């Protein structure tokens, strides 16, 4: 055999050995066989945003406009996908780690291809109803991973995209009778109405109205239901900071139980109570404390369907929702996805989109946009029904801690739904 042949055969042998050696190495270290050796820059990056129900219609429309604008981040086109979910339901899913966050000290390159594929659906960002839900989710992950997964400062910090507050929404015909009989609308007035044995006739109303019916979202489906109960506790105790001791006090629980006895549909309680006002009218609720934006969105529908307008009254103890846009900072999503999420966040805070939020009855988070900024601002349209551009002097309820929330949920489960 001549030298040329020997060299040729040797080169082939070495090549085969390199391939085999490489396969053995990858197999031993768990590196996926078809993992690329170059940095990939996808053509499209998808941002999955879990969005609380009150802002979902606006955010979904905004996402469609954003997608249509072909926005780019680091050379990749950004597409936003909206997942509507009540804040409390989402918190439960974070708590149970339903989305599949990786264990501490594990990164995506250390897991199998199949596990990586599962991470493809991991949410990039979350817009819950209130900042305190973010704090609760963080607390849960801190226990599990030893670190925050949503940041409160820095580039990826949670930023409110709109705000709204809980107000009284009552059918005008009922509000007149109630105020005449019991005075200004408050939780105490509502409690008296709820416990009046003779129902509406005893209060001076029409016998066809039956008993006073309280509209409260089911707290297990809508965080607004919990907010209403916390606001009721605030007024009951005359303070903003509510503890577990407060909500487990037997006297308070009896008072709350009497109040909840006026809820009409305990079994089919809806997450969308203001929408229920418009759909089912006064048959399911004469009034209740609901999110201002929800009420404003349904004012026209109520008028069209039932010819008896809603009036809005502001309570003394107010619960605010600030809808923080919160980016997941764990390794489950890439830096590109996080930056794309920030791009969408900036888009939502733009003046045009903040003005668009007014049409959903939301108060802009961008201070440069006034509540009267657009022609179709619901704050202008329904001023005669009691909505106020500047919220009157009220006391803001403080965010309750997890134990208070769970205690109230447990009470509701044991005393109302069972």
Q: Which residues bind another protein (CB under 8 A)?
A: 1, 6, 9-10, 12-13, 16-17, 19-20, 23-24, 27, 33, 53, 79, 84-86, 88-89, 91-92, 95-96, 98, 121, 206, 208-211, 213, 220-221, 261-271, 275, 278-280, 282-284, 298, 300-302, 304-307, 406, 409-410, 413, 416-418
Closest approach, Cβ 412 to another protein, in A, equals: 10
Closest approach, Cβ 350 to another protein, in A, equals: 25
Q: Between residues 194 and 369, which has the closer beta carbon with respect to another protein?
A: 194
Closest approach, Cβ 315 to another protein, in A, equals: 25
- Exposure string over 279-317, b if 16+ CB within 10 A, otherwise e: bbbbebbbbbbbbbbbbbbbbebbbeebeebbbbbbbeb
Closest approach, Cβ 76 to another protein, in A, equals: 15
Q: Report how far Cα 253 is from the mean position of its chain's Cα atoms.
A: 27
Residue 241 main-chain phi, psi, to 5 deg = -105, 110
The residues facing 171 across adjacent strands are 310
Q: Count CA atoms closer than 13 A to 241's CA, side-chain side.
A: 0
Burial (0-12, 13-18, 19+ Cβ within 10 Å), 155: exposed
Q: Between residues 263 and 365, which has the closer beta carbon with respect to another protein?
A: 263
Q: Between residues 372 and 417, which has the closer beta carbon with respect to another protein?
A: 417
Contact 301, 319 (CB under 8 A): no
Round to whole Å and give the CA distance between 24 and 29. Answer: 9
Closest approach, Cβ 60 to another protein, in A, equals: 9
Residue 141 main-chain phi, psi, to 5 deg = -75, -30
Q: Between residues 109 and 121, which has the closer beta carbon with respect to another protein?
A: 121
The residues facing 263 across adjacent strands are 214
Q: Between residues 210 and 330, which has the closer beta carbon with respect to another protein?
A: 210
Q: Between residues 210 and 237, which has the closer beta carbon with respect to another protein?
A: 210
Q: Between residues 92 and 309, which has the closer beta carbon with respect to another protein?
A: 92
Among residues 179, 184, 174, the alpha carbon closest in space to that of 213 is found at 174
H-helix or E-strand containing 163? strand 162-171
Closest approach, Cβ 109 to another protein, in A, equals: 20
Contact 130, 224 (CB under 8 A): no
Closest approach, Cβ 6 to another protein, in A, equals: 6
What are the contacts of 233-237 at 24+ separation with CB within 8 A?
Answer: 234/317, 234/395, 234/397, 235/186, 235/187, 235/188, 235/315, 235/316, 235/317, 236/187
H-helix or E-strand containing 252? helix 250-260
Round to whole Å and give the CA distance between 87 and 109. Answer: 31
Map 42-107 to HEC letters: CCEEEEEEEECHHHHHHHHHHHHHHHHCCCEECCEEEEEEEEECCHHHHHHHHHCCCCCCCCCCCC
Q: Between residues 237 and 280, which has the closer beta carbon with respect to another protein?
A: 280
Closest approach, Cβ 154 to another protein, in A, equals: 28
Round to whole Å and give the CA distance between 111 and 302. Answer: 53
Closest approach, Cβ 35 to another protein, in A, equals: 14
Closest approach, Cβ 67 to another protein, in A, equals: 10
Q: Between residues 301 and 331, which has the closer beta carbon with respect to another protein?
A: 301
């Amino acid at each position: 055999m001549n030298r040329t042949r020997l060299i040729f055969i040797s080169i082939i042998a070495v090549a085969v050995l390199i391939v085999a050696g490489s396969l053995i190495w990858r197999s031993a270290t768990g590196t996926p066989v078809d993992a690329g050796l170059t940095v990939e820059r996808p053509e499209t990056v998808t941002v999955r945003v879990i969005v609380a129900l009150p802002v979902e219609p606006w955010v979904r429309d905004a996402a469609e406009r954003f997608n249509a604008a072909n926005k780019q981040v680091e050379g990749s086109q950004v597409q936003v996908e909206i997942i509507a979910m009540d804040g409390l339901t989402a918190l439960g899913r974070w708590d149970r780690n339903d989305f599949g966050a990786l264990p501490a000290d594990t990164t995506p390159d250390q897991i199998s291809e199949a596990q990586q594929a599962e991470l493809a659906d991991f949410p990039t960002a979350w817009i819950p109803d209130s900042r305190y839900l973010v704090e609760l989710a963080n607390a849960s992950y801190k226990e599990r991973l030893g670190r925050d997964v949503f940041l409160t400062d820095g580039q990826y910090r949670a930023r409110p995209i709109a705000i709204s507050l809980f107000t009284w929404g009552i059918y005008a015909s009922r509000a007149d009778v109630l105020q005449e009989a019991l005075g200004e609308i408050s939780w105490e007035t509502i409690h008296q109405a709820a416990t009046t044995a003779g129902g509406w006739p005893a209060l001076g109303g029409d016998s066809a109205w039956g008993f006073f019916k309280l509209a409260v979202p089911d707290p297990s489906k809508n965080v607004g239901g919990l907010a209403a109960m916390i606001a009721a506790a605030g007024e009951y105790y005359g303070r903003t900071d509510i503890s577990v001791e407060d909500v487990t006090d037997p006297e308070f629980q009896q008072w709350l139980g009497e109040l909840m006895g006026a809820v009409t549909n305990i079994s089919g309680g809806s997450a969308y109570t203001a929408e229920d006002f418009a759909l089912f009218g006064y048959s399911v609720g004469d009034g209740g404390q609901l999110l201002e934006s929800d009420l404003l969105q349904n004012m026209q529908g109520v008028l069209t369907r039932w010819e008896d307008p809603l009036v809005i009254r502001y309570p003394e103890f107010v619960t605010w929702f600030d809808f923080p846009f919160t980016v997941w900072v764990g390794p489950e999503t890439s830096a590109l996805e996080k930056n794309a999420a920030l791009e969408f966040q900036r888009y939502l805070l733009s003046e045009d989109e903040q003005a668009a939020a007014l049409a959903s009855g939301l108060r802009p988070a961008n201070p440069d946009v006034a509540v009267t900024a657009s022609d179709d601002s619901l704050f202008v349209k329904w001023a005669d029904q009691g909505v106020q551009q500047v919220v009157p002097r009220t006391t803001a309820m403080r965010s309750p801690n997890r134990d208070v929330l769970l205690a109230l949920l447990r009470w509701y489960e044991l005393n109302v739904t069972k």
